[in-house]
Chains A and B, each alone.
With several copies, the nearest count.
Chain A
Amino acid sequence: MTKTAVKHIVKINTEMCKGCGLCVAYCTKKMLLESEHLNKAGYHYAEPGDMDLCSGCMICTLVCPEVVIEVYDDDE
C-alpha cells in the first residue's frame, strides 16, 4: 500500500475508548486496530497501526461515539 503525501498523527485516548470497534471497521486505510490488551474499564481499546497509512480522512472521528480520537496534520 502506498504511503500518503501529508503525514497525519492519530491519537486515541485508550483509557476512555470503549472498544466498540467502529473506527477499526470504518478506517478507510484499515490502519486502526483492536488491541488485545484491556484498558482499566475492561475494553479492548483501539490503537493506531502504521500511522503513515493514515490519509487524514477523519472517518474514524466521525464514527467514534466516545469522541476519543484526535487526528493531527503532522506539519514538519
Chain B
Amino acid sequence: MLLKLLIAGSGGQGVLTMGNVLGNAAMLDDYFVTFLPSYGAAMRGGTANCTLCISDEEVASPVASTPDMLVAMNQPSLMAFISRLEAGGQLLYNADLVDDVPERHDVDLFGVPVNRVGRELGSERAANMVMLGALVKMTKIIKIETVFKSIEMMMGSKKKLAESSMKALQAGYDGFPFS
C-alpha cells in the first residue's frame, strides 16, 4: 500500500500543519511515512503545499508528481494541481473558497465547506482541521484516535488551540461526506 497525498493552499491556511499532524499520526500507527513541504522564499505569500507518502514499506521518493489524493484549500491551488491528480484519485476542496471546479470525470470530487464549519465552531482558523477530519474519514487508513493523539503531541503546549483543533477535526470527520 502506498498513498500519495498532496495538500495545497495559501500561506496562512495551515496546510503544513495538516500534513504534519497526519504524518505524525501515520508514524504513530507504525506506517512508513514521508512529509515534504514546499520550501524557499521563491514565492512569498503565494501558495504553500506539502506532500505526504504513507506506506507499509519504505517510501522511495517523498515527491508526488502524480498524487492519489489532492486537498485544495483554495481556488489557485486547485487550479495549480488538479491536472496532476492520478486518474481514479480523489479531490477534496474547500467549497467556501473554490467556486469553479474544472471538469475531470476520472476522479472523485468532494467539496467541504471548511470555513463555514470552522466559523460555526467559533474559529475559522481551525478550518484546516475540519478538512483534515474529512480527509481521515475518506482515506480510512489512519485511525481518528491516532490523529487526536497526534494533535495532542504537536499542540499539547497550546491547550486552547489543541481543543478547538480536535473539535474541528471531529466535525470534519463526522460531517464527511458533506452534501
Is A–B contact present in the complex under a CB 8 A cutoff?
yes
Q: List residues of chain A with CB under 8 Å of any chain B CB.
A: 18, 38, 40-42
Q: Which residues of B contact A38 (CB under 8 A)?
A: 97
Contacts of A18 on B, CB cut-off 8 Å?
A: 45
B9 closest partner in A (C-beta): A42
Enumerate chain A residues within 8 angstroms of B97, measured Cβ to Cβ: 38, 42
B residues engaging A (CB < 8 A)? 10, 45-46, 74-76, 97
Q: Are B75 and A40 in contact (CB under 8 A)?
A: yes
Which chain B residue shows the least CB distance to A42?
A: B10
Closest to A41 in B: B76
Determine how close the nearest CB of chain A comes to the CB of B6; give it in whole angstroms: 18
- How long is the Cα–Cα vector from A42 to B45 in the complex, in angstroms? 10
B123 to chain A, nearest CB (A): 20
The answer for the CA separation of A18 and B75 in the assembled complex, in Å, is 16
5 nearest interchain CB pairs?
A: A42-B10, A42-B74, A42-B76, A40-B76, A41-B76
CB-based nearest B residue for A18:
B45
Residue of B nearest to A38 (CB): B97
Q: Which residues of A contact B45 (CB under 8 A)?
A: 18
Beyond A38-B97, A42-B10, 9 additional pairs, beta carbon < 8 A: A18-B45, A40-B75, A40-B76, A41-B46, A41-B76, A42-B74, A42-B75, A42-B76, A42-B97
CB distance from A40 to the nearest CB of B (A): 6
Given the complex, which residues of A lie within 8 Å of B76, measured CB to CB? 40-42
Q: Which residue on chain A has the smallest CB distance to residue B46?
A: A41
A42 to B47: give the CA distance in the assembly, Å.
9
- Residues on B with C-beta less than 8 A from A40 are 75-76
Residue in chain B with minimal CB distance to A43: B45
- Can you name 8 A-B pairs with beta carbons within 8 Å? A18-B45, A38-B97, A40-B75, A40-B76, A41-B46, A42-B74, A42-B76, A42-B97
Distance in angstroms from B134 CB to nearest chain A CB is 21
Query: Of A18, A38, A41, A42, which is in contact with the most chain B CB atoms at under 10 Å from its CB?
Result: A42
Nearest Cβ distance between residue A72 and chain B, in whole angstroms? 29
**Which A residues touch B74, using CB under 8 A?**
42
Residue of B nearest to A40 (CB): B76
List residues of chain B with CB within 8 A of the CB of A41. Answer: 46, 76
> Least Cβ distance of A43 to chain B in Å?
8
For the complex formed, measure the closest distance between the CB of B74 and the CB atoms of chain A, giving whole angstroms.
6
Residue of B nearest to A19 (CB): B45
